[in-house]
Amino acid sequence: MDEIDRRLIELLRREARTPVASLAKTLRMSRGAIQNRIDKLIARGEIAGFTVRLADDSGGRIRAIMAIAVDGERSPTVLKALRRFPEIEAVHMTNGRWDMIAEIATDSLAGFSAVLDRARLVEGIAATETSLLLATHRL
């Protein structure tokens, strides 16, 4: 599985009903290439099926928030780099001690650890503090 496959799976995980043409546009590939990748992922068992996700269901995923301190005025550069992480679902700009808060979702602790390792290498990130989300209560 390569980076494109991982990004494709992240897009499908967010919305499994996304048209292949839209996925192709997002990933800057042809519709046929994306359909072939989906078919291969299904054939290899990487994608076991498609399902309904309820509003309060995290699907057993590892979810976390990462507080990020940025060196100087490097926020645009850091944000651009973080956009390339399919596991980062959102980045919020904030005030106070931390400049950004990133929402992370992965399928495993190993995947989560790999995201942290890669994120900490992003040029312009001075410090991070990450907390796993153990339970969510919708209000």
Sheet holding 88-93, edge to edge: 88-93, 100-106, 62-70, 125-132
Q: How confident is the model at residue 57, as a pLDDT? A: 52
Residues 124 and 66 occupy one common structural domain: yes
Q: Which CATH number is 25's domain given?
A: 1.10.10
Q: Looking at residues 86-97, what average pLDDT do you find?
A: 93
Query: Confidence band (pLDDT; 50, 70, 90) for 55?
Result: low
> Which of these ranges, 30-34, 41-45, 123-127, has the smallest mean pLDDT?
41-45
Residues 24 and 78 occupy one common structural domain: no
Residue 118 has pLDDT above 90, yes or no: yes
Residue-wise pLDDT tens digits, 9-20: 989 888 888 999
Q: Looking at residues 22-50, what average pLDDT do you find?
A: 92
Residues 67 and 27 occupy one common structural domain: no
Name the residue range of residue 35's domain: 3-43
Q: Looking at residues 61-70, what average pLDDT do you find?
A: 94
Residue-wise pLDDT tens digits, 73-87: 999 999 999 998 989
Contact at 8 Å (CB) between 92 and 100? yes
Residues 39 and 70 occupy one common structural domain: no
**Residue 57 belongs to some domain of the structure:** no
Task: Return the higher-pLDDT residue of 17 and 98.
Answer: 98
Concatenate the DSSP letters of all residues of the chain into one string: --HHHHHHHHHHHH-TT--HHHHHHHHTS-HHHHHHHHHHHHHTTSS-------TT--TT-EEEEEEEEE-TT-HHHHHHHHTT-TTEEEEEE--TT-SEEEEEEESSHHHHHHHHHHHTTSTTEEEEEEEE-------
